[in-house]
Amino acid sequence: MSQKKRCTINNIYVTLLHLCTCQVSSLMDDCCVCGKRFFPFLATLTMHAKVNNVNSSWLARIFHAVKYPLTRAMAPHLTPTKKAHIWHWHLEGKSNNWIAEQFGRDRRAIDRLRQNTDTYAVTTGRGRLRAISKHDLLEAHLELKRGHAHDGEDIRRLLFPKLAASTVRKALATSGMSGRVRRKKPLLSRSHILKRRKWEQANREMTLEEWTAVWFSDESKFNLIGSDGKCYCRRDVGEEYLDRNLQKVVKHGGGHIMVWGVVTWDGPGRLIRVAGNMDSRQYCKILKEGLLGTLQDQSLEPEDIVFAQDNDPKHVSRYTKAWLHDNEIHLLGWPPSSPDMNIIEHCWAAVDRSLRRRGVLPTNLEELWSMLEEEWGKLDVEFIRTLYRSIPDRLEALRQSHGGVTCY
């Protein structure tokens, strides 16, 4: 390559570098400025390259590296107004190159627009219009998030009073807001939340080995007929009233039994039947038989364990506190309204499921008590130890919720 041609090519690259560093910002601000400065510059550059006999591959490389990326960055898409101008100039007989210069666009974009006759046309869809638009659904979602509405009927009453409730429910379900069963959790006041946070902070450093020394206790009620929990079945449409798909209920559950129990790292402790309404004196008798009896069964002393109970009035009465002090029982402080931190709740649920899975269900309270004792004794030790291992995760969930409700 001659020295003159090499200098010409260098001048071209210097000019392009100057354009990219000094004029790109101004070129991208205004399409008209782009049309006046950028494309005449390329035309001049082309003529200069032809006069100096520059190879066409060099010229193509320059155009491809500078023209197309810059013009695409300047105008990412054609707005409806620009499309209208393009069709107007097309009807006046303007060329594609002239139109492309006016908007600073690639000529191929103008070609595609002119070849597609439906680009600017507004076509209506087939079928009936939706009763609830996407904007309406977005507003419905916001009302649900803000707590102004709780279900599909509330949304219908607030936003769509003329629509059927089923239409609103289907639209919400399609958009991802399906109907769900509310989770039952204790009502927490500000004082409860604060005390739960302090309890988590006080016990977060406890290791699993230390938690294994904690014994968890509580009372629970078991109905003779049916369960207080949810019951599910699998059925076909129209079979909801068949005998096998019904949950049979009677008033007050047909009778029930109240029991007290305790779980330890080594398995379930004694299960005690509660007679009538329990007060502090009866509770202490239950502790004497159930708690001290379990200590005797496992050959342990009171100082070897830490006893956990909730804040029921009969648990924290002066009479109960005096009995626990006299028997050297160490208590683990317990936050208010915190059944999610007590692992025995899962044991009660497991016993109830096992009881309802039996082939022959109890017909009276004595049979119910006998079956409860049997199922309580069958609780798997590994299952209980898995619950113990979940305690650090429960504390972490309590920390993340800042003392609020958790998933346990």
Residue with the bigger pLDDT between 230 and 96: it is 96
Q: How far, in Å, CA of 259 to CA of 286, rounded?
A: 10
Residue pair 178/172 in contact (Cβ under 8 Å)? The answer is yes
Q: Give the span between the Cα atoms of 324 and 316, in whole angstroms.
A: 10
Whether residue 310 contacts residue 218, with contact meaning beta carbons closer than 8 Å, is answered with yes
Closest CA to 206 of 400, 10, 407, 396: 396
Bridge partners of 271, per DSSP, are: 261
Distances from the Cα of 252 to the Cα of 223, 227, 259, 355, angstroms: 8, 11, 17, 19
> pLDDT digits over 336-372, tens only?
999 999 999 999 999 998 988 887 888 889 999 999 9
Total count of residues recorded for the chain: 408
Q: Does residue 190 register a pLDDT over 50?
A: yes
Residue 188 pLDDT exceeds 80: yes
CATH domain 190-400 topology: Nucleotidyltransferase; domain 5 (3.30.420)
Q: Which amino acid is at 39?
A: F
Angstrom distance (rounded) from CA 140 to CA 136: 6
Q: Which tokens is 135 given?
A: 């904007």
Residue 20 pLDDT level (bands cut at 50, 70, 90): very low
Q: What is the pLDDT of residues 138-156, one digit of tens each?
A: 999 999 888 888 888 899 9
Domain ranges of the chain: 3-115, 134-174, 190-400
Residue 380 has pLDDT above 70, yes or no: yes
Residue 191 has pLDDT above 90, yes or no: yes
Indicate if the alpha-carbon torsion angle 366, 371, 374, 377 is positive or negative.
negative
Q: What is the mean pLDDT of residues 257-279?
A: 93
Find residue 264's DSSP bridge partners: 267
Condensed to tens digits (0 to 9), the pLDDT of residues 37-91 reads 444 555 555 555 555 555 555 555 554 444 444 333 334 466 777 777 787 888 8
The DSSP symbol for 22 reads I
- pLDDT score, position 50: 53
Contact (Cβ atoms closer than 8 angstroms) between residue 287 and residue 270: no
Contact 217, 309 (CB under 8 A): yes
Decide the pairing of beta strands 306-308 and 214-223.
Answer: parallel
Only one residue has tokens 């699998």, namely 234
The angle at the Cα of 300, spanning 389 to 339, to the nearest 5 degrees, equals 40
The answer on pLDDT for 407 being more than 50 is yes
Q: How far apart are CA 1 and CA 9, in angstroms?
A: 11
C-alpha distances in Å from residue 387, one per residue of 313, 374, 394: 27, 21, 10
Q: Give the confidence band of 14 by pLDDT, cuts at 50, 70, 90.
A: very low
Query: What's the average model confidence in pLDDT over 212-225?
Result: 91
Confidence class for position 215, pLDDT limits 50, 70, 90: very high
Split at pLDDT 50, 70, 90, the class of 331 is very high
Give me the pLDDT at residue 392, please.
Answer: 94
Q: In whole angstroms, give the CA distance from residue 113 to residue 118.
A: 9
Q: Quick one: tokens of 46? A: 């082309």
Confidence class for position 105, pLDDT limits 50, 70, 90: confident
pLDDT in tens, 219-265: 999 988 766 666 777 788 888 788 878 777 776 656 889 999 999 99
pLDDT at residue 252, rounded to an integer = 61
Q: How confident is the model at residue 95 (pLDDT cuts 50, 70, 90)?
A: confident
Does residue 30 register a pLDDT over 60? no
Give the C-alpha separation, 337 to 182, whole Å: 18
